[in-house]
Amino acid sequence: MEQSNPPGGWLKLAGLGFELAASIAGGALIGWWIDRRLGTAPKALTVCTAIGVVGGLYNLIRTALAASREAERGRRPGGGQGGPA
């Protein structure tokens, strides 16, 4: 019997790309704003964009690893519930 994934599971993973893009764009916007306020272009833009990239990639990898672990649990005999009988 073929096992099906829960509905909406792929939507969660598809949203990871948008989260990555949003964290980079958010960091860039904050850096741009700081540079305009302080006249330090492009230092804050560069630093805040790098922070956005690192934070976004961290979230992407963390969520992907959790999804991988969850999928592995579902493939084991018994669905990963409890120990050997």
Residue 79 in domain: no
Residue 84 lies in a domain: no
Q: Report pLDDT for 5.
A: 56
pLDDT score recorded for residue 62: 95
End-to-end alpha-carbon separation of the chain, Å? Answer: 22
Q: Would you call 41 helix, strand, or coil by DSSP?
A: coil
Residue 58 placed within a domain: yes
Can you give the pTM of this predicted structure? 0.75
What are all long-range contacts of 22-25, with beta carbons under 8 Å and residues at least 24 apart? 22/56, 23/52, 23/53, 23/55, 23/56, 23/59, 24/49, 24/52, 24/53, 24/56, 25/52
Domain total of the chain? 1
Note down the domain range covering 53: 14-73
- The residue ranges of the chain whose pLDDT is under 70 are 1-8, 77-85
The reported pLDDT for the residue numbered 56 is 96
Note whether residue 32 is domain-resident: yes
DSSP for residue 82: S
* Residue 7 belongs to some domain of the structure: no
Other CB atoms within 10 A of residue 58 CB? 12
